[in-house]
Amino acid sequence: MIGMMYLVLTALLALNVSKQILDAFLVVNESMETTNENFSKKLDNSFAKFKIQYQLNQKKVGPYWDKAQEAHKLADQFTKYVDSIKYHVIQITDRLPSMNDARKIPLGEVKRKDSYDMPTTYFIGSSNDGSKGEARILKEKIEDFKIKMTNLVDPKYRNSVKTGMDTKGPYFDYDGNKQNWEMHNFYHTILAADVTILNKIKAEIYNTEFDVTNILYTAISAEDFKYDKIDARVIPKSNYVFMGDDYQAEIVVAAFDTKAVPNVRYVLNTDTMTPGNFVNGTQLEGVNGVVTLKLPGSSEGLKKFAGIIKIVSPMGDTMKFHFHDEYIVAKPGITISPTSMNVFYVGVDNPVDISVPGGPEKINPTISVGNIRQEGKAWIVSGLPKGVRVATISVNAVFAGKNKPMGSSVFRLKLVPDPILKIAGTNTGVISKNLLLASPYIVAEMPVGFDFNLKFKVTSFKFVAAEASGEITEFKVQGNALNTDIIKIVKNARRNQRIWFEEIKVLGPDGPRDIQGSLGLRIN
């Protein structure tokens, strides 16, 4: 694929630059960048397999692993250099403030991508053969890289390393005149083509590293290592155990022959088991490379265990693998909550009960909005913002000094409902003149069934009375008491005269608010 792209690139360089040709460079460059990303992932997979073999037998695999790491180091240094000159030439050509700005801008958004003056000065310099520009340095680094990489593998496999990056040629210009590598690639070459060439070189660096790594990997004897992973694994059926039940887990040694029986011992109440304490541990019987651990849940709290697995490798060596885990034993309990009533009210203190079974040393709840604090044994949620619909409480518990997530719960956020307004104990219908004069105050009470003991105070209102003549009398009053003018109207009121209290404002724990609607009465 790299070879095909190179042929396309070479053909493009031989043509006059037009918008179509420039767009073609962008397409080729994008393909090269995708190829480089894929190569990077393939290299990661190769190194992961190589590392497994190294862990299995460091003595045998060590020399190959060291060379593979050296190959990675050489490739990494070279790709960083190629990136540095790529972003530098973009910076100076597009007149960007820094190389960091050049790193962030895609090639398609570079303004002077069709310019060749500054790139030619950068790569060729004041010379007729490119010997005084960055192209000569790049060429020397390519040749040095190829030599060092091929020297990492056995001479009989060196022809299998596809290094690419040919700097010898022969190369010719458009008129058939012979050129060197520097002039052929970078003389009067537009910026978009320069960037594409450099990305092609990066792809060949990755390809070289991939070939060298695989050759080194295949040099390891396949007869000695048949497995792709080896590790100790504790697989519990549950980390949460109720009193009276058993904790059960499978301890698996992956990648060994299933006919081998591992030697497994464990100790309780610790995170580690020393090799010297192996003989004092409790032995577990295994079948087909798997042992089953069963521990009684006889008391509450956090429980720990640790142990060692011993198994014979294909090389005949006894290999040791440490394991450890922990679990919680708790009394059976039940919590039943009506999910449709998980509500917090904005602007007030909301008490909430939080408990964690298993006897934790400490409970640490957090809330997604607002605040949560502890008062005695209770928790209080406050400071909830208006305009937010839900809040999530997440709970961590501390067992044996370690923080453990215990779960979360979502609550709906609602505004405190408007209070019910009353005067002389009523808010509708007919009211006695004497009763109204005896208790001339508008009082705000919370609706029946609302569980919070909240206090609202009436701060102002408008009084409206309809006279017999049909004339309307209005007074605006500060506070919650009927003033002398209103008292006079009430005293002189005729039977069945209507009065209203409108535009009522109250002050509550969540701040001031306007009460919708009015309080209308008929004087008896």
Render pLDDT for 329-374 as a digit per residue (tens, 0 to 9): 776 554 545 555 688 988 888 888 888 876 778 889 999 999 999 9
| Confidence tier at 94 by pLDDT (50, 70, 90) | very high
374 against 19, higher pLDDT: 374
Q: Is the pLDDT of residue 404 over 90?
A: no
The Cα-based distances of 185 to 33, 75, 102, 133, 306 in angstroms read: 19, 22, 22, 13, 63
Quote the strand ranges of 254-385, DSSP E.
263-268, 282-284, 286-287, 290-296, 301-312, 318-330, 343-346, 350-352, 362-367, 371-375, 378-382
| b/e map 220-246, b = 16+ CB within 10 Å | beeeebeeeebebebebeeeebbeeee
Q: How confident is the model over 264-282, as a mean pLDDT?
A: 90
pLDDT of residue 337: 53
Q: Is the pLDDT of residue 27 over 50?
A: yes
Q: Residue 518 — φ and ψ, nearest 5°?
A: -135, 165
Q: Is-same-fold flag (232-330; 339-415)?
A: yes
Domain 339-415 is in which class? mainly beta
Most confident by average pLDDT, 95-109, 297-311, 344-358 = 95-109
CATH number of 232-330: 3.30.70.1290, 3.40.50.300, 2.60.40.10, 3.20.20.100? 2.60.40.10
The chain-wide mean pLDDT, for the chain, equals 83
The Cα-based distances of 197 to 69, 193, 217, 261 in angstroms read: 27, 6, 30, 57
pLDDT of residue 3: 52
pLDDT of residue 244: 64
pLDDT (tens digit per residue) in 172-231: 888 888 999 999 989 998 998 999 999 999 989 999 999 999 889 888 754 454 455 566
| C-beta of residue 149 within 8 angstroms of C-beta of residue 212 | yes
| Confidence tier at 454 by pLDDT (50, 70, 90) | confident
DSSP string, 191-231: HHHHHHHHHHHHHHHHHHHHHHHHHHHHTS-TTT---S---
CATH number of 420-523: 1.10.1400, 1.10.1220, 2.60.40, 3.40.50? 2.60.40
- The residues spanned by each domain of the chain are 2-218, 232-330, 339-415, 420-523
pLDDT of residue 14: 44
Helices (H), 404-521: 433-438, 484-491
Q: Is the pLDDT of residue 77 over 90?
A: yes
DSSP, res 441: B
pTM over 0.85: no
